């Protein structure tokens, strides 16, 4: 059976991490979002918000980390691996922030592919900001639009996950694969 790499994406605060944790709790293999890790590493080096201070460097670090995750998924014995955000997310954020980037980024989107993409739409009732999530809900909504369009531009058909409980959202995803 072919290994499936499934991306769970959506704007900030849409419930991606909660679904990933639920999938793990149910025994599924998952790879976690790495942007907080990149941010915390930069903070240890004295850069408070790498994404704001050096957006291209932040994006390069994210891209490298996501490429590593993609290769790591190949090494996992499970037939299905769920990944919290994929490589196209990096481009969507750079487009949202009008950050210029080289073909190095677009080439990665073409080289590393996923089998399915699940999209969590903006949901104001569950949205919360924190130390690493500083966007307003309206900004999160615009980022979501960029994410959806970026995945479509690379040939994906994102499957929108309904706004229900974590268990119901998780079951919806599992029923689709």
Domain ranges of the chain: 4-176
Q: What is the mean pLDDT of residues 82-97?
A: 95
Q: Give the pLDDT of residue 130.
A: 60
4-176: CATH superfamily: P-loop containing nucleotide triphosphate hydrolases (3.40.50.300)
Residue 113 has pLDDT above 60, yes or no: yes
115 vs 46, more confident: 115
pLDDT at residue 35, rounded to an integer: 81
Instruction: Give the mean pLDDT of 61-73.
Output: 93
Q: Taking 60 as the threshold, does the pLDDT of residue 85 lie above it? A: yes
pLDDT for 124: 73
pTM above 0.85, yes or no: yes
Q: How far is CA 78 from CA 1, 69, 74, 107, 166, in A?
A: 10, 14, 9, 27, 23
In the prediction, which pLDDT does 134 show?
Answer: 63
List for the chain the helix, strand, coil content (%; round to 5).
50, 10, 35
Would the pLDDT of 57 be above 90?
no
Quick one: pLDDT at residue 126?
74
Q: Which residue has the higher pLDDT, 176 or 36?
A: 176
pLDDT tens, position by position, 119-172:
999 887 775 766 555 667 688 899 999 999 999 999 999 999 999 999 999 999
Tell me the C-alpha distance between 103 and 51, whole Å.
Answer: 20
Query: Greater confidence, 95 or 128?
Result: 95
Residue 147, pLDDT score: 97
Structure confidence at residue 131 (pLDDT)? 55
Share of the chain above pLDDT 70, in %: 90
Q: Judging by beta carbons within 10 Å of its beta carbon (0-12, 13-18, 19+), is residue 175 exposed, middle or buried? A: exposed
């Amino acid at each position: 059976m072919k290994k499936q790499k499934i991306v769970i994406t959506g704007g900030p605060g849409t419930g991606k991490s909660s679904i990933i944790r639920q999938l793990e709790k149910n025994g599924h293999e998952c790879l976690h979002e790495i942007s907080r890790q990149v941010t915390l590493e930069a903070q240890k080096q004295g850069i408070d918000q790498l994404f704001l201070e050096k957006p291209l460097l932040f994006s390069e670090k994210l891209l490298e980390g996501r490429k590593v995750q993609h290769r790591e998924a190949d090494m996992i014995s499970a037939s299905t691996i769920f990944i919290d955000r994929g490589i196209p997310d990096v481009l969507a954020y750079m487009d949202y922030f009008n950050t210029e980037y080289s073909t190095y980024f677009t080439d990665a989107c073409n080289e590393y592919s996923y089998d399915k993409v699940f999209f969590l739409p903006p949901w104001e009732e569950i949205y919360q900001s924190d130390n690493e999530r500083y966007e307003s809900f309206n900004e999160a909504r615009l980022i979501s639009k960029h994410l959806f369009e970026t995945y479509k531009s690379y040939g994906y058909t994102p499957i929108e996950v309904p706004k229900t409980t974590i268990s119901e959202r998780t079951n919806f995803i599992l029923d689709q694969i």
